[in-house]
Structure formats: C-alpha cells, structure tokens
Amino acid sequence: MSAQPSAPGKGIGAKTVVSWVVSIVCNVALPIVTYNQLTAAGWSEFSALAVSGVWPVVDTVVYLIWHRRVDEFAIVTMIFMALTLVVTAVGPHSTRLLLVKDSAVTGLFGVVCLVSLAAPRPLMFYLGRKFGTDGTKEGVAHWNGLWQHELFRRSLTVITLGWGVGYVAEAVVRVGLSYALATDGMVTVNSVLSYGVPAVLIAWTISYSKRTRARGAQARAEAEAATAAATAA
C-alpha cells in the first residue's frame, strides 16, 4: 500500500483571516441583527427572515469579487444560494417553511456528498483541492497526482461519507427544531448551526487526516525497512 504524500499547503495569512471574519459576520452576526431590528420595527417574521437571508448572498459576492475567480467551491456555493433564493421566492410564505428551507439546502448538500461516492472521485476531492493546495498549477497537479495512492483515495471516501452523513443528520435536527422553537430563537440556532456543524466536521477531518498521514508514514517506513533488510540479505 502506498503511503499518502503531503500536499503543498496554504499558509493562514492576513487575507485568509479577513475572509473568515467577513464570512462569519455575513452568515452569523448580520442575519441575527437584521432579523431582530426588522421585527422590532414592525416587520412580519417572514419578511424579516427573507431580508436577513440576503447577507449570505453578499458574502458569496464579496468572495467572488475578492478572489476574481470561480472554482468548484464557488460554483457549489452559488448553486445552493440559487436554490435558497428560488425556494424563498416561489415557496409558501410561511416563517416555519422558510426556516426549514435552510435544512433542505444543507440536507441536499449532504445527499450530494453521499451520491458523489458513486462518481469517479468524491466531492471532497475537489473541495480538498481548494483548501489543501496553494492554488498554483504545481499544487493542483500534485493534489491530482495523489489520487493514485490507495490510502489517499480511501481517506477522501471516508471524509466525504462523514460530511454527507453529518449534514443529513444536521438537516433532520434543524427541521425538528424549526417546529419546536420560537422563530427568533431558531434564527439564532440557524446562524450557530451554519458554522457550528462545519466547525465540528472540519475538526474531525483534520484529526482524521493527521491519523491517516501518520499511518501512511509508518507504512512507508516499514516498507523501506523491509527493502533495506532484503537488500542486506
């Protein structure tokens, strides 16, 4: 079994930190503040929810303008934003269903992850290439070349499965909470889940990847030792 080589990484610089801050503000803080301010001003719950849902779209637009490129991750984000806008525009004007709409979108992402396991390469191969390389032609080519290693393929399959199951489960929980909690409480829960769930999945992915690399390094060392022993004999 071939060990998994390391891919060129991207350092976490000031630009990355600013990008994260903008994303958190647009996806967590501003939707909550907007909803609370509009409902306090007499807006209906549905109208306030619909307007507060514009901020994640702003985040995506800022990302595209800032990076000036459309990659696989941006395409996936835009697809789900489009689905969200369509559901909001043509769906029943119910606050509960508008809250459930977020569950449908994240649940669909989980389903896409699971379905992609039947494709030649799972979805996390492409998302991993975005976050696991420096974006240069050399870095992307190195990442693509890792697919020849069985350990690399298996690890991405497990990671894709984990994200698929995680987001399907999150969608089920979010639907239940949408009907169990008051609307203002669910707005906060939605914003927290939007970053809490991926934070947990990312932490698990990093931990699993480190363990996989350690097993790969051990397998490589054992193979080299066996080769050296055979040569000496």
pLDDT tens digits, residue range 81-126? 666 666 666 555 667 777 777 677 788 889 989 999 999 999 899 8
Q: 1, 219 in Cβ contact below 8 A?
A: yes
Count of other CB atoms within 10 angstroms of residue 131: 13
Answer yes or no: is pLDDT of 130 > 80.
no
The residue whose two tokens read 């409902």 is 39
How would residue 3 be classed by pLDDT, with cut points 50, 70 and 90? very low
pTM summary value: 0.65
Q: Is pLDDT of 215 > 60?
A: yes
- Nearest 5°: the CA angle 189, 191, 195 is 110
**Predicted local distance difference test score (pLDDT) of residue 114:** 96
Mean pLDDT of the chain: 77
Mean pLDDT along residues 178-186: 84
Report the distance separating Cα 114 and Cα 91, nearest Å.
Answer: 26
Residue 2, pLDDT score: 39
Residue scoring higher pLDDT (5 or 14)? 14
d(C-alpha 78, C-alpha 73), whole Å: 9
pLDDT in tens, 38-84: 877 888 766 776 777 777 778 777 777 776 665 555 566 666 666 66
Q: Quick one: pLDDT at residue 156? A: 94
Mean pLDDT across 179-200? 83
Lowest mean pLDDT among 43-47, 77-81, 185-189, 204-208: 77-81
Domain locations along the chain: 14-232
Buried b (16+ CB within 10 A) or exposed e, 193-216: bbeebbeebeeebeeebeebbeeb
Q: Which of 66-80, 133-147, 171-185, 218-232 has the lowest mean pLDDT?
A: 66-80
Sign of CA dihedral 86, 89, 91, 95: positive
